[in-house]
């Protein structure tokens, strides 16, 4: 069981739809092409027009170059069309979000029951485990990552503890990202959630037994 599946789903319309923001430019990475090496740049007409040869000629100005290894690659383009159609016509994004929330809430419950003062947070289809390297007083069920600020949340790390947790999870059949945490896709189901939570409980117990 691996939680390493592309980028997080923020909504069918991306983070801009989720938060009601219209950006000048929007950069879409490899998840756009279903994991193939593709991406896209979208934006306001006046900004994107700087790349348009016809618009540049009409305005009598120089076109800005836009080079890319996979520009106009037919395989990547075909994969992107299929991916975007699935996002548009199915509930893939909402299913991924629901699965991620089930993992986050399940992990919080495990930490509370095992009396381990760590936190679990994340949005949309992502989950991240905060191993509390500064030994701050934390209630796993009410943990608020924003209360720690960026320095408290990301500035201090315990690589040894994170490594032990990841190794324990691997030994229990689950591969986490180095965060530690993971990204959820629409293909993950309750079976994978249950497997992950069971592995997390065993791993937390192992870490406790080692005195970490």
pLDDT tens for residues 107-149?
999 999 999 999 999 999 999 999 999 999 999 999 999 999 8
DSSP helix/strand/coil, 182:
strand
Q: Residue 3: which pLDDT band, with cuts at 50, 70 and 90?
A: low
Could you identify the residue written with the tokens 């893939």? 92
Whether this prediction's pTM lies above 0.75 is answered by yes
Q: What is the mean pLDDT of residues 64-76?
A: 85
- In terms of Cα–Cα distance, which of 207, 198, 210 is closest to 173? 198
- Count other C-beta atoms under 10 Å from residue 176's C-beta: 26
- Report the run of H or E that residue 25 belongs to, with start and end: strand 25-28
Is 133:156 a contact under the CB 8 Å cutoff? Answer: yes
pLDDT value, residue 171 = 97
End-to-end CA distance of the chain: 25
What separation in angstroms does the CA of 190 have from each of 1, 59, 102, 184?
A: 12, 56, 9, 12
Q: What is the DSSP track for 47-61?
A: HHGGG-HHHHHHHTS
pLDDT value, residue 157 = 82
Domains of the chain: 14-89 (no CATH), 92-209 (3.90.1150.10)
What separation in angstroms does the CA of 210 have from each of 9, 149, 203?
A: 36, 30, 11
**Percentage of the chain with pLDDT > 70?**
96
pLDDT value, residue 69 = 80
Is 153:130 a contact under the CB 8 Å cutoff? Answer: yes
Is the per-residue pLDDT at 20 higher than 60? yes
Which is more confidently placed, 15 or 106? 106
Task: For residues 64 and 132, give the distance between their C-alpha atoms in angstroms, rounded to a whole number.
Answer: 47
> What does the buried/exposed string (b/e) look like for 137-167 if buried means 16 or more CB atoms within 10 Å of the residue's CB?
ebebeebebeebeeebeeeeeeeebbebbbe
Checking DSSP bridges between strand 119-121 and strand 40-43, what pairing results, if any? Answer: unpaired
Helices (H), 2-91: 14-19, 45-48, 53-59, 74-89
């Amino acid at each position: 069981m691996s939680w390493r599946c592309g980028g997080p789903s923020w909504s069918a319309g991306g983070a801009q739809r989720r938060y009601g923001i219209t950006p000048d430019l929007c950069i879409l990475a490899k998840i756009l092409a279903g994991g193939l090496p593709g991406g896209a740049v979208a934006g306001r007409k006046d900004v994107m027009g700087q790349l348009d040869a016809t618009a540049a000629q009409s305005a009598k100005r120089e076109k800005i170059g836009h080079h890319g290894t996979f520009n106009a690659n037919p395989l990547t383009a075909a994969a992107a069309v299929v991916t975007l159609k699935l996002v548009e016509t199915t509930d893939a994004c909402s299913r991924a979000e629901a699965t991620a929330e089930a993992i986050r809430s399940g992990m919080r419950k495990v930490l509370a029951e095992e009396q381990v003062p760590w936190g679990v947070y994340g949005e949309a289809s992502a989950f991240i485990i905060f191993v509390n390297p500064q030994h701050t007083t934390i209630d796993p069920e009410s943990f608020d990552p924003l209360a720690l600020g960026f320095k408290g949340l990301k500035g201090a790390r315990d690589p040894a503890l994170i490594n032990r947790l990841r190794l324990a999870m691997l030994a229990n059949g689950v591969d986490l990202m180095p965060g530690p945490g993971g990204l959820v896709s629409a293909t993950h189901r309750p079976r994978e959630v249950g497997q992950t939570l069971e592995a997390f409980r065993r791993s937390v117990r192992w870490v406790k037994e080692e005195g970490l």
